[in-house]
Structure 1
Amino acid sequence: MSYKTLWQGRVDAEDGEAGLRWHQVVKFDNIHSASDTLTLIGYPDDTGIAANKGRVGAAGGPNAIRQSLANLPWALKHTLIDVGDTPVFDELIKTQASFATKVYQALQSGSSVIGLGGGHDIAWASYQGLAQHTTQRIGIINFDAHLDLRKPDPVGTSGTPFRQIAEHCHTHDKKFTYTCLGVSRAANTQALFDYARQSQTRMLYDVDFTLEKAQHLLSPMLAEIDQLYVTVCLDAFPIALCPGVSAPSALGINPVEMIKILQWLGNACTENDVVWQLSDIAELNPTLDSDNKTARFAARIAFELAGAMQYTSHVGKNEQR
């Protein structure tokens, strides 16, 4: 089935433009130069999850998110473009390189980007695309129960992306600026916490997850970066809300607090002249989903990301230096 056929939903013709939904405004153009555009790019790969000993099935995540997004109301100023999925190769590194190229091209065009995963190895691919696009200071916010700082040995997996980013930063003499929100003490080994402290990773535990504490942790970070990348791993949320993930969470974080944080981030980026042009969603496994709960929630997160990013893909502080 073509990803294009998934964009179907209710039509409220009597309401005119005020009644539009995502499926009515989406275009299927190739990436092209245009500001005020939101580009969706699929990453239909779960080989990184398999390599990380997780439950496979997230390759179907992008289409499940599209299907759940289709019927949501459209209230953005952007033009919405879905460029489809990146090709999947036998080697994960090649798939990541292909996705990174698509991200780079979209960012270069002036578009905001939301990646649809797929395993959380999408993060290493997304970061590479952003790093190719800008030489500015990049900050990463990851909503996740897991730190994903495992050693990429011999190759990367869904559990290694931020270690790979840290090593890339070290090699290129850049600061690794990474915050993980929703960390579970029961889901990370001491070795991972040791590396997190060594790499100066900022952490907010799941039991402490509130807007106020997130603001306290993130405000100093926003003051020292120029570009923000936000990634959301669906295993950060309670299993009752998100059963369709590779590694479900017994406790999880409060989804309402998370949405409040995203909304605050949109304003905070504007106030700090931080460009927020890139986000992604990872680990949706439709084969394990119950009543499309996880897909529906992933679509809500994409909806909130798009709204929060809408006014933050502008000229940042470092552009003017």
Structure 2
Amino acid sequence: MVDMKVWTGRVDAAEGEAAKRWHQAVQPLPESGAPGIAIIGFACDEGVRRNQGRVGAANGPRALRKALANLAWHPTLPLYDAGDVVCDAGNLDAAQRKLGLLVTQAAQAGHLPLVLGGGHETAYGHWLGLADAHPGKRIGIVNFDAHFDLRHADEATSGTPFAQIAADCAARSQHFRYLCLGVAETANTQALFDTARELGAEWRLDTEMTGWQLADIRGQLAEFLDSVDAVYLTIDLDVLPAAQMPAVSAPAGYGVDITVVETLVGRLAKSGKLIGADLVEFNPEYDIDSHGAKAAARLAWSLSRHLRR
């Protein structure tokens, strides 16, 4: 069930059709319709709880919709809302499988899934859906994140999704292609760096993600894009500095400036290879005067602005 009541905002009726905002452009995802952007919420922070983080990201999808609702709509692709997946009784595996099914259905209908998390456990469900929808394609993962999220654990958490994806790639006889941008050495143990090397992952540290290094970053991103058929983009909002994004489980003491992240997100959106994107870890309980919500909405807006089919 899609709750459209959250999509409300300013109406500039006197300025006509060209003055629309997101709340006027979005509609429930139809059974058949022109290919567009399909927003799917993953109202879950069970993985964050298991990872000993600050819970509250389950309320992220609704808060992010509210932040998006009043933004100016510059037509690119049709905009749809496919509703939320909820994690019932802590059953994370079932919730991830349900998310995967919705992502597969949206992708097979020609839409680009835009998933609003939820903790970063969102990524495994999103991956399952994209991998099933695009069999045989070499899918590369670009993750803006202070953390590798390659932990080994007895159960799935918000810190394990890319280790799970690596295992899933092995089961599918696919190569694990993973680029993590914004890694904080202070937040990742040597064991995690060792795991990243063993899996053939690529990364850039947060200290190597400044504006003056943008040309080098673009070059690395271009090489990665050339090596894959399709790209799954995931943005863990804790990659941003705490001053720009206070509303996460683990605010960054250093972080990557939003101007750098937005520039690279635009490059990915215009690549023609993007098949799915998500924003995760937004926790409205720790937001300050909607600073975090506005920053996250800006990134989602920028992504949509550059999409073409």
TM-score range for the pair, normalised by the shorter chain length: over 0.9
Amino acid at match of 2:293: A
CA deviation map 1:132-168 (0-9, x unaligned): 10121100000000000001x3211000000000111
CA RMSD of aligned residues (A): 1.3
Map of 1:40 onto structure 2: 39
In structure 2, C-alpha distance between the alignment counterparts of 1:188 and 1:3, rounded to whole Å: 38
Note the C-alpha offset of 1:34.
3.2
Equivalent pairs, count:
303
Structure 2 residues without counterparts, runs of 5 or longer: none
Note the C-alpha offset of 1:262.
1.5
Note the C-alpha offset of 1:6.
1.5
The answer (yes or no) to whether the contact 2:35–2:77 under 8 Å persists in 1 is yes
In structure 2, C-alpha distance between the alignment counterparts of 1:76 and 1:190, rounded to whole Å: 46
Note the C-alpha offset of 1:76.
2.1
In structure 1, C-alpha distance between the alignment counterparts of 2:25 and 2:269, rounded to whole Å: 23
Residues 1:176 and 2:179 aligned together:
no
CA deviation map 1:216-263 (0-9, x unaligned): 211121112111100000111111111110011111101101111112
- For normalisation by structure 2, the TM-score amounts to 0.95
In structure 2, C-alpha distance between the alignment counterparts of 1:214 and 1:156, rounded to whole Å: 31
Structure 1 residues without counterparts, runs of 5 or longer: 314-321
Note the C-alpha offset of 1:306.
1.3
Aligned equivalent of 2:239, options 236, 240, 243: 236
In structure 1, C-alpha distance between the alignment counterparts of 2:243 and 2:76, rounded to whole Å: 34
Amino acid at match of 2:199: S
The answer (yes or no) to whether the contact 1:202–1:217 under 8 Å persists in 2 is no
Task: Give the match's secondary structure for 2:260.
Answer: helix
Note the 1:246-285 alignment, pairs <5 A.
246-267=249-270, 269-270=271-272, 275-285=273-283
Map of 1:134 onto structure 2: 134
The answer (yes or no) to whether the contact 1:33–1:110 under 8 Å persists in 2 is no
In structure 2, C-alpha distance between the alignment counterparts of 1:227 and 1:145, rounded to whole Å: 23
In structure 2, C-alpha distance between the alignment counterparts of 1:127 and 1:108, rounded to whole Å: 14
The answer (yes or no) to whether the contact 1:34–1:110 under 8 Å persists in 2 is no
Note the 1:24-39 alignment, pairs <5 A.
24-30=24-30, 32-39=31-38
In structure 2, C-alpha distance between the alignment counterparts of 1:155 and 1:95, rounded to whole Å: 14
The answer (yes or no) to whether the contact 1:144–1:181 under 8 Å persists in 2 is yes
Residues 1:215 and 2:188 aligned together:
no
In structure 2, C-alpha distance between the alignment counterparts of 1:178 and 1:34, rounded to whole Å: 33
Map of 2:62 onto structure 1: 63
Q: Percent identity?
A: 41
Task: Give the match's secondary structure for 2:294.
Answer: helix
Note the C-alpha offset of 1:9.
0.8
Note the C-alpha offset of 1:3.
3.9
Task: Give the match's secondary structure for 2:186.
Answer: coil
Map of 1:316 onto structure 2: none
Amino acid at match of 2:278: D
In structure 2, C-alpha distance between the alignment counterparts of 1:182 and 1:126, rounded to whole Å: 21
In structure 2, C-alpha distance between the alignment counterparts of 1:100 and 1:89, rounded to whole Å: 16
Note the C-alpha offset of 1:264.
2.0
Residues 1:87 and 2:86 aligned together:
yes
In structure 1, C-alpha distance between the alignment counterparts of 2:202 and 2:301, rounded to whole Å: 26
Map of 1:13 onto structure 2: 13
Note the C-alpha offset of 1:66.
0.3
Residues 1:113 and 2:113 aligned together:
yes
Task: Give the match's secondary structure for 2:28.
Answer: coil
